[in-house]
């Protein structure tokens, strides 16, 4: 068996870079999350106020269809 040191070193570098990226991402996300939450709260409050002011419309019912067949014009049968 041969010692494939170059491949092992490449895998270690790849693993280290992935781990570094994950740690950096977690730190940045943790630092920015409160800032994003503070900026979004006023928007959420405005949306809630608008929703509270909107009148609730009763559901509209569709008119009942007649059971009589409607005549079909010839132009309705032609596909464009």
In a domain, 47, yes or no: yes
For residue 20, the model assigns a pLDDT of 96
Q: What is the DSSP letter of 68?
A: S
Q: What are phi and psi of 57, to 5 degrees?
A: -80, 140
For residue 1, the model assigns a pLDDT of 47
For residue 22, the model assigns a pLDDT of 95
- What's the predicted TM-score (pTM) here? 0.42
In a domain, 3, yes or no: no
pLDDT values of the chain reduced to their tens digit, one per residue, 80 residues: 466 888 899 999 999 999 999 999 999 988 888 887 788 888 888 888 888 887 656 667 776 776 777 777 777 777 65
DSSP per position, 11-63? HHHHHHHHHHHHHHHHHHHHHHHHHHHHHHHHHHHHHHHHHHHSPPPPPPPPP
In a domain, 59, yes or no: no
Q: Which domain holds residue 49?
A: 28-54
């Amino acid at each position: 068996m041969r010692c494939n040191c170059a491949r092992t070193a490449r895998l270690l570098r790849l693993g280290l870079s992935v781990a570094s990226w994950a740690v950096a991402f977690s730190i940045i996300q943790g630092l920015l999350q409160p800032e994003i939450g503070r900026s979004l709260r006023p928007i959420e409050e405005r949306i809630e106020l608008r929703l509270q002011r909107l009148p609730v419309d009763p559901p509209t019912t569709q008119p009942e269809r007649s059971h009589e067949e409607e005549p079909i014009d010839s132009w309705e049968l032609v596909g464009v």
